[in-house]
Amino acid sequence: MRQRKRMLEQLDADIREHIERETQDNIERGMSPEDARHAAHRKFGNVTHVIEETRAVWSAVWLEQLLADIRFGLRMLRKNLGFTAVAVLTLALGIGANAAVFSVVYAVLLRPLPYQAPSSLIVLNETTPMVGTVSVSYPNFLDWRNQSRTFSEMSAIRGVGFNLAGVTQPENISGDAVSPNFLSMMGVRPFLGRDFYASEEKAGTPPVILLSYSLWQSHFGGDPNIVGRTIKLDDRSFTIVGVLPSNYRSLDKTDVMLPIGVWITDNSEDVKERGSRGDLGVIGRLATGVSLTKARAEMEGIAARLATEYPASNDRFGVALQPIRDAFVSDIRPAILVLFGAVMFVLLIACANVANLFLVRGASRSKEVALRIALGASRGRIISQMLTESFVLAVLGGVLGLALAVAGIGGMSRLIPADMLSGATVNLNGAVLLFAACAVALASFIFGLAPALHSTKPDVQSELKEGGRGASVGAGQNRLRAALAIAEISLALILLVGAGLMMKSLYRLLAVDPGFRPDRVLRLEMDLRTQQYSKDPAVLNFWQQVLDKVRVLPGVEAAAVGTHVPLTDSHGRTDITMEGMAVPAPGNYPHPDVHTISPGFVETLGVSLLRGRTFTDTDDEKAQLVGMINAMTAKRFFPNEDPIGKRFLFGHPSAKNAPKWRTIVGVVSDTKLYGLANPARLEVYVPLRQDAASDMTLLVKSGADPAALTSAIREAVQSIDKDQPLFAISTMKELVSNSVATRRMTLVLLGLFSGLALVLGAIGIYGVISYSVAQRTHEIGIRMALGAPRGDVFRLVVGQGLKLAGIGIAIGILAAFGLARLMSSLLYGVSVTDFETFAGVAILLVLVALLACYVPARRAMRVDPIVALRYE
């Protein structure tokens, strides 16, 4: 480059010098100085033109060559339309699938979160060996914040819900109460209005609120003068102080945001109670230069000190730290990565197929190549020209692939459960385009290089000397083509094993007994939040009226209310004490899930009663305190006796208050609260009238389609309280189905990709075998002339195909043994080396290979020895 600059800078002077010398020579020959100069110029030619030409030497050569190559490539592709169509389509499928899956990878795993320096934002939770990760108690958060030096800032986020009496229908909205520093710590500035004041952390702060961008649009028509107006939530007025930006993203749906002081005002008891851990999370920003490891060490030390200091609430409680990105994607990451790997395999198979096509065509072009090499074209020149041709092909495939990807992205975003995306938008964007461009470039190298290197190999040049038929190809090329077919089979096998394992997992998972009968059950949530429900009798009265009205609706078989229905995220857990059990350390108390239920709940949800009785209307506030336990609790505490009549109490025994013992009246089956794949837990049920709850789920069992009852139920509820919203409406069937949505998506896509791989692999084998039959027509003819039965010929050809398939299957099985491990977290009830799956897939591939060989084998059988021999 430097040489170029120096040479061109002095070019003018060099030319002047040259002309000067010529002029001098001419003068010496006796010309007049003027004539001498003219003659010298004439002899030199057009100076400007010379300078231009010389410049071109340094600049445009490669570009011109490239353009010429591209034109040549396009011409070659136009000449072989069949070849081009097959190759472009194959590549389009591979690149399109890759672009579609990458759009999800990018949206979920790579796109920067809309926060300032998101990599130093850490989500903190408490942990307990009893259940794992849990929410943080407010007093613990305050101590963490005060004592930590590794975090420059920390902020509490408490999930909150409100009832919004809307214009048409009342609705339930959700949001976060946050420490006032939250938005500035995240690097988020309100789109309109102001951030919270530091003073708004204290109890008694006036109720102010920030609206989400979408709520501002939908409920206030994007009013630019929104700041200062009020919004009525439950039955309180909140002053709107601003609007969040439209790209604000949080872990849960955020309709509104308020300073935590407002929440503290309403929950002064909760805030003081160190043992109360309810839906409060903490996000912190690491101080400059502090690693996650260091922060974790410090926080674990703080948690340990708190556990010693407050054993009653903190015994055995630790702390968990995770980067904020992980909090967004931890559930779906393994599935996405497995799919991304799978789709890469599909692209590799597509490349192998196209490489095979190129080799076949390369054979017919080998004379052309040999001739050009003999005429002095360098091998590098020809390789680069052939690569350009591959590249042109790959670009065509990429363009078509992007069109396929647009369709694929639409399909995939419907398949992926929305809550798994946590607000990520999957679309075709610059990053996806860049990825597709890289895929195109890489693919053209993968499928172009081997054939290009191969057909310019010196031994192929003997082609010219042979002067024979273009069809004769060396053994080297056949080996390469066989290797490609084997690679395709191996890759297809790996994908099929993945899909097979996924299918078996899903089958096993859906066969799991959830502990309840989801058929024909509708679930609707209600949260009684207004002042009129501040006293228990009003709450109980409301639920009773709802049940009375809903139970008489036509088509309703049964109805009940209860808290924390299975497979929703909702849960409530507390320590219990069994009468007579050895008093454990504070952190070792049994910690069951507690359901507050109306009579009929067990029957409506279809939970089996194993012993004793369920609750009745007589289990009310005046009656003896009663409860039910699940089978697991019964087995844990009463392995050899009848639990009926035994007693327990909530919390730990206390010397101060008289113990409130509850008598066990029934034992019911375990339910899969936290997903079909997760183990059952201890569960306890108490009657609604003895433990009033204002946030409950209404379950309705119908005789027919439960969803059809929705509007009748809504009317019934609003005839009692017109401002009371119903939300989270779905059938229990849908909940079961959604709980396996990630696995189903993985299965559907893996199935699709492996199907594609199977077809491409079959085409690969078919191509190799039918080409080899064409090549061996002469040999087959001789064999038949010498008396070989047609059956032998058939077996010869099929045997050749099966050999390829066999090697491919063997390699694939070995690789799949290693790779299946990577998807172990997606599997359920099936080992990563499941024999049935591996054997089934191997058999499937053998059958497909047989099918792929059948047509060429039939063709070989029909070879006429006379014609074949005359052919040469």
Partner 1 sequence: MSTKEQRERIELLQGTLDLLILRTLLLGPRHGHAIAKAIEFNSEDVLQVEQGSLYPALHRLIKRAWISVEEGTSENNRRAKFYRLTPNGRRQLALETRKWDKLAGAIARILRPAEQEGEP
CB of 391 to partner 1, least distance (A): 22
CB of 322 to partner 1, least distance (A): 57
In degrees rounded to 5, what are phi and psi of residue 287? -65, 155
For 771, half-sphere exposure in the C-beta direction (CA atoms, 13 angstrom radius) is 24
Residue choice 228, 376, 639, 679 for contact with partner 1 (CB under 8 A): 376
Nearer to partner 1, 54 or 184 (CB): 54
CB of 57 to partner 1, least distance (A): 4
Return the residue matching tokens 């350009």.
Answer: 388
Spatial distance between the Cα atoms of 179 and 323, rounded to a whole number of angstroms: 19
- Consecutive H or E run containing 284: strand 280-286
Give the footprint of partner 1 on residues 756-775 (CB under 8 A).
none
CB of 105 to partner 1, least distance (A): 44
Spatial distance between the Cα atoms of 224 and 235, rounded to a whole number of angstroms: 25
Nearer to partner 1, 54 or 384 (CB): 54
- Specify the stretch interacting with partner 1 by CB under 8 A; choose among 20-28, 450-458, 710-718, 724-732: 20-28
CB of 22 to partner 1, least distance (A): 6
Residue 613 near residue 666 (C-beta atoms within 8 A):
yes
Nearer to partner 1, 25 or 620 (CB): 25
Say whether residue 678 binds partner 1 (CB under 8 A).
Answer: no
Say whether residue 3 binds partner 1 (CB under 8 A).
Answer: yes
CB of 467 to partner 1, least distance (A): 17
CA 709: distance to chain centroid?
A: 35
Q: Tokens for 755, please give them.
A: 């199907």
DSSP state of 585: -
Residue choice 49, 414, 622, 870 for contact with partner 1 (CB under 8 A): 49
- Specify the stretch interacting with partner 1 by CB under 8 A; choose among 27-35, 45-53, 139-147, 234-242: 45-53
Residue 343 near residue 98 (C-beta atoms within 8 A):
yes
Instruction: Tell me the DSSP string of 303-350.
Output: HHHHHHH-HHHHTT-EEEEEEHHHHHHTTTHHHHHHHHHHHHHHHHHH
- In degrees to the nearest 10, what's the CA dihedral of 465, 469, 470, 473? -80
- Specify the stretch interacting with partner 1 by CB under 8 A; choose among 54-62, 577-585, 719-727, 785-793: 54-62
In degrees rounded to 5, what are phi and psi of residue 525? -105, 150
> How far from 573 is each of 272, 385, 636, CA to CA, in Å?
19, 69, 17
Say whether residue 53 binds partner 1 (CB under 8 A).
Answer: yes
Nearer to partner 1, 45 or 132 (CB): 45
- Specify the stretch interacting with partner 1 by CB under 8 A; choose among 7-15, 204-212, 565-573, 596-604: 7-15
The count of residues interacting with partner 1 (CB under 8 A) is 26
CB of 779 to partner 1, least distance (A): 38
Say whether residue 59 binds partner 1 (CB under 8 A).
Answer: no
Residue 178 near residue 310 (C-beta atoms within 8 A):
no
Task: Residue 729: name the closest of 542, 516, 604, 568 by CA.
Answer: 568
Residue choice 38, 54, 322, 384 for contact with partner 1 (CB under 8 A): 54
Strand partners, 322: 123
Task: Residue 393: name the closest of 349, 432, 354, 345 by CA.
Answer: 354
Task: Residue 498: name the closest of 802, 736, 752, 848 by CA.
Answer: 752
Give the footprint of partner 1 on residues 153-212 (CB under 8 A).
none
- Specify the stretch interacting with partner 1 by CB under 8 A; choose among 47-55, 215-223, 302-310, 718-726: 47-55
Task: Residue 421: name the closest of 341, 321, 333, 506 by CA.
Answer: 333
Q: Is 102 exposed, middle or buried (0-12, 13-18, 19+ CB in 10 A)?
A: buried
Residue choice 32, 46, 247, 364 for contact with partner 1 (CB under 8 A): 46
Other CB atoms within a 10 A radius of the CB of residue 836 amount to: 11
Give the footprint of partner 1 on residues 528-557 (CB under 8 A).
none
Say whether residue 380 binds partner 1 (CB under 8 A).
Answer: no
Say whether residue 789 binds partner 1 (CB under 8 A).
Answer: no
Nearer to partner 1, 57 or 774 (CB): 57
Say whether residue 377 binds partner 1 (CB under 8 A).
Answer: no
Say whether residue 17 binds partner 1 (CB under 8 A).
Answer: yes
Say whether residue 47 binds partner 1 (CB under 8 A).
Answer: yes
Say whether residue 44 binds partner 1 (CB under 8 A).
Answer: yes
Nearer to partner 1, 17 or 309 (CB): 17
Nearer to partner 1, 45 or 411 (CB): 45
Say whether residue 378 binds partner 1 (CB under 8 A).
Answer: no
Nearer to partner 1, 54 or 422 (CB): 54
- Specify the stretch interacting with partner 1 by CB under 8 A; choose among 5-13, 344-352, 457-465, 608-616: 5-13
β-pair type (727-731, 521-527): antiparallel
Instruction: Tell me the DSSP string of 83-116.
Output: HHHHHHHHHHHHHHHHHHHHHHHIIIIISPPSSS
Nearer to partner 1, 4 or 821 (CB): 4
Say whether residue 27 binds partner 1 (CB under 8 A).
Answer: no
Say whether residue 56 binds partner 1 (CB under 8 A).
Answer: yes
Residue 128 near residue 587 (C-beta atoms within 8 A):
yes
- In degrees to the nearest 10, what's the CA dihedral of 65, 69, 70, 74? 160
Question: Vertex 791, ends 785 and 795: CA angle to 5°?
Answer: 110
Say whether residue 5 binds partner 1 (CB under 8 A).
Answer: no
Instruction: Tell me the DSSP string of 705-772.
Output: -GGGGHHHHHHHHHHH-TT---EEEEEHHHHHHHHTHHHHHHHHHHHHHHHHHHHHHHHHHHHHHHHH
Q: Tokens for 111, please give them.
A: 């796109």
CB of 12 to partner 1, least distance (A): 11
DSSP state of 828: -
CB of 370 to partner 1, least distance (A): 17
- Specify the stretch interacting with partner 1 by CB under 8 A; choose among 50-58, 126-134, 436-444, 618-626: 50-58
Nearer to partner 1, 44 or 197 (CB): 44
Other CB atoms within a 10 A radius of the CB of residue 396 amount to: 20
Instruction: Give the sign of the dihedral formed by CA 164, CA 166, CA 171, CA 175.
Output: negative
Residue choice 16, 32, 33, 58 for contact with partner 1 (CB under 8 A): 58
Q: Tokens for 393, please give them.
A: 């092909």
Q: Tokens for 537, please give them.
A: 């009798």
Residue choice 5, 32, 33, 43 for contact with partner 1 (CB under 8 A): 43
Q: Tokens for 462, please give them.
A: 């003997």
Instruction: Tell me the DSSP string of 14-34.
Output: HHHHHHHHHHHHHHHTT--HH
Say whether residue 464 binds partner 1 (CB under 8 A).
Answer: no
Residue 468 near residue 363 (C-beta atoms within 8 A):
no
Q: Tokens for 503, please give them.
A: 């299918």
Nearer to partner 1, 46 or 616 (CB): 46
CB of 824 to partner 1, least distance (A): 57
- Specify the stretch interacting with partner 1 by CB under 8 A; choose among 46-54, 321-329, 330-338, 552-560: 46-54
Say whether residue 741 binds partner 1 (CB under 8 A).
Answer: no
Nearer to partner 1, 56 or 785 (CB): 56
Say whether residue 15 binds partner 1 (CB under 8 A).
Answer: yes
Say whether residue 722 binds partner 1 (CB under 8 A).
Answer: no
Say whether residue 382 binds partner 1 (CB under 8 A).
Answer: no
CB of 45 to partner 1, least distance (A): 4
Nearer to partner 1, 52 or 705 (CB): 52
CB of 460 to partner 1, least distance (A): 21
The site for partner 1 (CB under 8 A) is made up of 3-4, 7, 10-11, 14-15, 17-18, 21-22, 25, 43-47, 49-51, 53-54, 56-58, 376
